[in-house]
Amino acid sequence: MARALIDALVDHGVHEVFGLPGDFALPFFRHLEQNADRLPLYTLAHEPGVGFAADAAARWHGGPSVACVTYGAGALNMVNPIAGAFSEKSPVVVISGAPGVDEAGRGLLLHHQVRTLDSQLRIYREITCDQAVLDDPHRAPAEIARVLRSCREQSRPVYIEVPRDRVDAPCEPVVPLPPSSWEPAAVNACADEVMARLFEASRPVLLVGVEVRRFGLEGRVAELASRLGMPVATTFMGRGLLAESAAPLVGTYMGLAGRPEVRAVVEESDGLLMLGVLMSDTNFGVSGERVDPRATMVAADRGVRVGFHVYPDVPLDALIDALLERCAGRAAPAEGRVASALPVPPRGLVADAAAIHPRDIAAALNDLFDETEPMPVASDMGDCLFTAMDMVHTPLVAPGYYATMGFGVPAGLGISAASGRRPLVMVGDGAFQMTGWELGTCARNGWAPIVVVFNNASWEMLRTFQPEAGYNDLDVWPFARLAEGLGGRGYAVTTRADLKAALAAARADESRFQLIDIAIPRGAISDTLARFVGAIKGANRPPGTR
Ligand code: S1T
Ligand code: MG
455-488 confidence digits (pLDDT tens): 999 999 999 999 999 999 999 999 999 999 999 9
Instruction: Write down the pLDDT at residue 387.
Output: 95
CATH architecture entry for 184-327: 3-Layer(aba) Sandwich (3.40)
Q: Tell me if 2-163 shares its fold with 184-327.
A: yes
From the CB of 459, is ligand 1 less than 6 Å away? yes
Neighbours of 545 (CB within 10 A): 6
The CATH number for 358-532, chosen from 1.10.10.10, 3.30.1540.10, 3.30.300.10, 3.40.50.970, is 3.40.50.970
Smallest CA separation from ligand 1 atom 6, residue: 404
Ranges under pLDDT 70 in the chain: 285-290, 329-343, 539-546
Measured in Å, residue 501 CA sits from the centre of ligand 1 at 29
From the CB of 400, is ligand 1 less than 6 Å away? no
From the CB of 533, is ligand 1 less than 6 Å away? no
119 SS3 class: helix
Instruction: Write down the pLDDT at residue 336.
Output: 47
Give the percent of the chain with pLDDT over 70.
Answer: 95
Which residues have beta carbons under 5 A from ligand 2 (an ion)? 428-430, 456, 458, 460
Give the number of the atom of ligand 1 that is nearest the alpha carbon of residue 432: 20
Q: Residues 478-504, buried b or exposed e (16+ Cβ, 10 A)?
A: ebbebbeebebbbbbbbbbebbbebbe
From the CB of 479, is ligand 1 less than 6 Å away? no
From the CB of 406, is ligand 1 less than 6 Å away? yes
Measured in Å, residue 383 CA sits from the centre of ligand 1 at 9
Instruction: Write down the pLDDT at residue 354.
Output: 97
Smallest CA separation from ligand 1 atom 1, residue: 405
36 SS3 class: coil
Pocket probe for ligand 1: among 78, 281, 381, 453, the residue whose CB has the most ligand atoms within 8 Å is 381
d(CA 154, CA 214): 9
Give just the sign of the alpha carbon dihedral 245, 414, 300, 190. Answer: positive
d(CA 211, CA 316): 8
From the CB of 405, is ligand 1 less than 6 Å away? yes
Give the number of whichever ligand sits closest to the CA of residue 533.
1
Dump strand ranges (E) for 436-528: 450-455, 489-493, 514-519
Instruction: Write down the pLDDT at residue 327.
Output: 86
| Whole-structure pTM value | 0.95
195, with CB counted inside 10 A (0-12, 13-18, 19+), is middle
Measured in Å, residue 379 CA sits from the centre of ligand 1 at 12
Give the number of whichever ligand sits closest to the CA of residue 382.
1
Give the number of whichever ligand sits closest to the CA of residue 385.
1
Instruction: Write down the pLDDT at residue 228.
Output: 87
Contact at 8 Å (CB) between 67 and 128? no
Closest Cα to residue 399, out of 150, 2, 55? 55
Pocket probe for ligand 1: among 462, 464, 517, the residue whose CB has the most ligand atoms within 8 Å is 462
Contact at 8 Å (CB) between 291 and 284? yes
Give the number of the atom of ligand 1 that is nearest the alpha carbon of residue 434: 3
From the CB of 361, is ligand 1 less than 6 Å away? no
- Helix 358-371 and helix 496-508: axis angle, to 10°? 40
From the CB of 454, is ligand 1 less than 6 Å away? yes
Measured in Å, residue 117 CA sits from the centre of ligand 1 at 34
Domain ranges within the chain, ordered by starting residue: 2-163, 184-327, 358-532
CATH number listed for the domain at residues 2-163: 3.40.50.970
Give the number of the atom of ligand 1 that is nearest the alpha carbon of residue 474: 21
